[in-house]
């Protein structure tokens, strides 16, 4: 169970979408439920579990966050609250804030009226604006078992041959990844490769015992790392993934 430091208005909870959503529901219930949450079915608890409450606005992005998605926040925060009131904004998938929406949001986070709290949920802290991170309380949830890889990531992890290019392109066409989706998938791929590499190094510890697998995983990790330095921009995701597909090392 996590608790917020309510002396600052901005909080970031890092973890899987499911975990962070549940953690937020739990902490809002302890905030508002008269029995303190837990196995309670009072009207407050019921509302909160449906992400609805008179002192709560729970926001989700349409695809990437747009200014429209955040309008309710911009509007409500212009009003001041009574002394003992607390109002929470929850932003699911806050890694989907674009540069423009994040900068707009930043203005609301900077000096809000007393009582407003912003809880940003994310799977990927690195995707948030450093200026937001630096003013926030960061709460990282223990990682549940590494989630099953996204189908696109799995293509790389299982070392699908170049000849599988048609299936790969079909997946790209079907999914229409946005730039921020792509960055997240790239991070996911990197993370998986790193943990595979760590496991491979552990097995073959000792000088001169570097296995072919370790060599391969090092090459693959470095290839993805290079790609991360030049992530897709302005809708070039398909091309980006095709290029990575071609340059990705194969055993
Ligand atoms: Zn309750």
pLDDT tens per residue across span 201-225: 665 555 555 677 888 889 999 999 9
**What is the torsional sign of CA 44, 47, 49, 53?**
negative
> Which of 223, 222, 242 has its CA nearest to residue 232?
242
Q: Which domain holds residue 35?
A: 10-140
Q: From ligand 1's centre to the CA of 218, what distance in Å?
A: 51
Q: From ligand 1's centre to the CA of 226, what distance in Å?
A: 50
User: Which of residues 101, 117, 140 is at a domain's end?
Assistant: 140
Q: From ligand 1's centre to the CA of 116, what distance in Å?
A: 22
User: Which of residues 100, 118, 140 is at a domain's end?
Assistant: 140
> Which of 88, 91, 94, 93 has its CA nearest to residue 44?
88
Residue 223: the pLDDT is 94
Q: Could you tell me if residue 4 is inside a domain?
A: no
Instruction: Give yes or no for a contact between 220 and 193, defined as CB atoms under 8 angstroms apart.
Output: yes
Q: From ligand 1's centre to the CA of 47, what distance in Å?
A: 9
User: Which of residues 73, 107, 140 is at a domain's end?
Assistant: 140
Q: What is the pLDDT of residues 82-95, one digit of tens each?
A: 998 999 999 999 99
Quote the DSSP letter at residue 51. Answer: T
Instruction: Give yes or no for a contact between 141 and 15, defined as CB atoms under 8 angstroms apart.
Output: yes
Alpha carbon separation from 226 to 40, 141, 186, 231, 247 (Å, rounded): 50, 29, 11, 9, 11
Same domain for 204 and 131? no
Q: How far apart are CA 2 and CA 235, in angstroms?
A: 37
Same domain for 155 and 116? no
* 162 CB burial (10 A radius; 0-12, 13-18, 19+): exposed
> Which of 204, 229, 228, 230 has its CA nearest to residue 216?
204
Q: Could you tell me if residue 1 is inside a domain?
A: no
Residue 194: the pLDDT is 84
Provide the strand spans (E) within the chain: 10-14, 56-59, 87-91, 116-122, 137-140
**What is the torsional sign of CA 11, 16, 17, 22?**
negative
Same domain for 56 and 24? yes
Q: From ligand 1's centre to the CA of 39, what distance in Å?
A: 8
Q: How many domains does the chain have?
A: 2
For tokens 């510890």, name the residue: 205
Same domain for 130 and 35? yes
**How many alpha carbons lie under 13 Å from residue 211 in its C-beta half-sphere?**
14
**Any idea what the CATH number is for the domain that residue 78 is in?**
3.40.50.300
Q: Could you tell me if residue 5 is inside a domain?
A: no
Same domain for 44 and 163? no
Query: Model confidence at 116, in pLDDT bands (50, 70, 90)?
Result: very high
Q: What is the pLDDT of residues 25-61, one digit of tens each?
A: 999 998 899 887 667 889 999 999 999 999 999 999 9
Q: From ligand 1's centre to the CA of 43, what distance in Å?
A: 7
* 218 CB burial (10 A radius; 0-12, 13-18, 19+): middle
Residue 209: the pLDDT is 56
- Chain mean pLDDT for the chain: 88
Q: Could you tell me if residue 114 is inside a domain?
A: yes
pTM over 0.75: no
Same domain for 187 and 110? no
Same domain for 196 and 242? yes
């Amino acid at each position: 169970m996590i608790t917020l430091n309510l002396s600052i208005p901005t909080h970031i909870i890092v973890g899987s979408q499911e975990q962070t959503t549940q953690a937020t529901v739990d902490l809002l219930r302890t905030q508002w439920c008269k029995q303190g949450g837990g196995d309670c079915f009072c009207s407050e608890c019921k509302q909160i579990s449906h992400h609805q409450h008179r002192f709560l606005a729970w926001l989700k992005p349409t695809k990437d966050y747009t200014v429209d998605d955040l309008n309710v926040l911009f509007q409500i925060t212009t009003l001041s609250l009574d002394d003992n009131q607390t109002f929470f904004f929850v932003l699911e998938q806050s890694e989907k804030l674009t540069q423009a929406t994040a900068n707009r949001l930043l203005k609301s986070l900077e000096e809000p009226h007393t009582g407003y709290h912003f809880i940003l949920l994310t799977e990927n802290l690195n995707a948030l604006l450093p200026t937001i991170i630096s003013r926030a309380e960061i709460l990282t949830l223990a990682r549940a078992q590494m989630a099953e890889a996204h189908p696109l990531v799995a293509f790389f992890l299982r070392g699908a041959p170049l000849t599988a290019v048609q299936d790969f392109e079909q997946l790209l066409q079907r999914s229409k990844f946005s730039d921020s989706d792509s960055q997240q998938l790239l991070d996911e791929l990197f993370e998986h490769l790193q943990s595979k590499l760590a496991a491979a190094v552990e097995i073959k510890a000792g000088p001169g015992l570097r296995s072919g697998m370790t060599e391969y995983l090092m090459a693959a990790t470095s290839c993805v790392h290079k790609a991360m330095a030049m992530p897709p921009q302005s809708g070039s995701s398909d091309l980006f993934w095709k290029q990575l597909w071609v340059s990705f090392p194969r055993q």
